[in-house]
Structure 1
Amino acid sequence: MSQDAFRKFINPKKNSVVKEELRQEKKKYKKERAAFFDKIKEEKRLEREAQKGNRTAGKAKKSAPVAQKEPPRTKPTGNSKTSQKAEPISSMPLNKYLAHCGVCSRRDAADLIKEGKVTVNKKPVTEPGYKLQPNDEVFFNNRKLFITKNLVYILLNKPKDYITTTDDPQGRKTVLELIKSATSERVYPIGRLDRNTSGVLLLTNDGDLTQKLSHPSYEVRKIYEVKLDKPLVKADFDKILKGLILEDGVIHVDSLAYADNRDKSVIGIELHSGRNRIVRRIFEHLGYDVKGLDRVMYAGLTKKNVERGKWRFLSEKEIRLLKYLNASKNKPKKA
């Protein structure tokens, strides 16, 4: 089996070159971040001045009051912390609205709604497909929800011993602790990585993208590096390629390779299945113990130049590619 699928993760550059590129990227990010917040401060200052001017004009014209124009509104960009007002929601399904508000994915929102944790106009609604009306007010956890306009996309190189959830009743460390300085927006992980699995993890408040990447029909590819307790023999290697029958059905992988020809216990595996603990179960089914599992690629994104436990924002190009990822697979077939 060719190892072409894994060569793209080999970095031929010298360490000094990689470090310098990383320093330049950090420098550029800090500059852009400073410029962004300077812009926000300037916008707020202008808005305050406009409001002050309107109040002064109102006092001067008490004898003949006239309708005043609202102060100019600035359009929030990036990770803006400005307050937001609801967009038109007419006929939008309730679970989709929750996703747009950055609460969770549509699938998870459906569960929250069925459990009676969401209210519309202060009355519980348990139907995920409930069509909202323009004047409806939606509450979750006693908080009124507004559609999120400031979308955030974060790539995290997840370390072990962190769980992929927004909170944990047992008080264990969560991935949100690693990105708390990244944004004030409420973001949530796309998919899950086990506590003992490391590697690429995406977090966002974009409900539509979360729904897309989580749906099996889009066949999102993932590549893992697997470290076994013993070398993978050729017979088992071939069994995996042919397909295995697990307790929840047949599983096929897209490609398989020895990541290191000198150590047959280190395996590279590519697949698009999103079934729970699927990589571990493949090898456990054949009598192997997975000692280490690292996701090196997800939906075309890698952890290159992102140290373990660190994060970065996605570029506009990466976001655009994700939104059009495998779009042809979901187009309706012609009769």
Structure 2
Amino acid sequence: MHNRVARTLLTLSAVLALLTVGPTSSAFADTIQTGNRVCSMYVNSVGFGAYCSSGVAYIPSGTNPGPPPTWREKLGGKPFIPCRDFEIPQGIRLPKAPEGKSWALRITITDYELDSYNGGPRAHLERAYVAVDDAERAQCPFPDYMKKFWWRFDDTYPAPALQIMPTYTPRVNVPAYFTLTRESSEVLKSDTRTLDPEEMLSGMYDATHNLTMRGMVVNLNIDPGDNTGTFDCKVGITPVDQPDGYDHSKDPYNQLNTCKHIYQKSSADQPDGMYTVKLTITWEVSYWIGKDAGGWKSIGKANVTAVQRLPVQEVQAIGG
């Protein structure tokens, strides 16, 4: 697939015992040029990732201030193999492969120019899920000298950590506020602060080209479990001075946070004495390729669904 949005069935492997997920979409960004790399990215209900070609980043030095070597020069007379097979990204559900074959994610570099340092302006990556046998896998060999032309990373979303304020056990007729912890609301991958030299270089050719991907929770849909219907909360990263999204200097009736619910009955008559709260967490994945590149650009969104058991007490006061 190239420069289009593709849809497929996704499933979430258990992060917590009560996590579930339904059908959603898998989105692919347009192929991008980031420094001396050509990259293609994906996002689904398990996580996100990127596949890049053109090799280890080149940073001019005082002894070698010239332009980076071309692909032809990097090859040193060896043949260029434009395709490579990867494992299927976690979260993609495919039918059973034909007898004697297995599924692979085949990525092919097309419209490339060997006499360019990054494959040329028309170079892009095409991706396909293919069922292959040994002979078909041999069509895309991966010798050691081709390793410098490929780079990838991926990451999964953290398990959701739901915070409920002002007490974890809500009280009847008192607003209960819902937020996710900062740690479970954002994933930043390929940050230049990493200690891994290869990741630190990621797509970098100069100080303005560096591929970074970010997953951030942008919406929280909550079914409080008391048959009152669902409600949406526009969310982001909680501020450092209020990491639980709650102003402890004010009472529950005077909070800026609008992500709240008031239970009218206790959970005493519910199974195990607790309401079953269902969360649909919408992650938006974006990429950034340099300080002058126009900021974060969205790739797509994916939903993760979680279930939380919540006791509610019949006490019309805030207590311990």
Range into which the TM-score falls when normalised by the shorter chain: under 0.3
Higher relative contact order (CA 8 A, sep 6+): 2
Compute the TM-score of the two structures, normalised by the length of structure 2: 0.20
Q: More helix per residue: 1 or 2?
A: 1
Compute the TM-score of the two structures, normalised by the length of structure 1: 0.19
Q: More strand per residue: 1 or 2?
A: 2
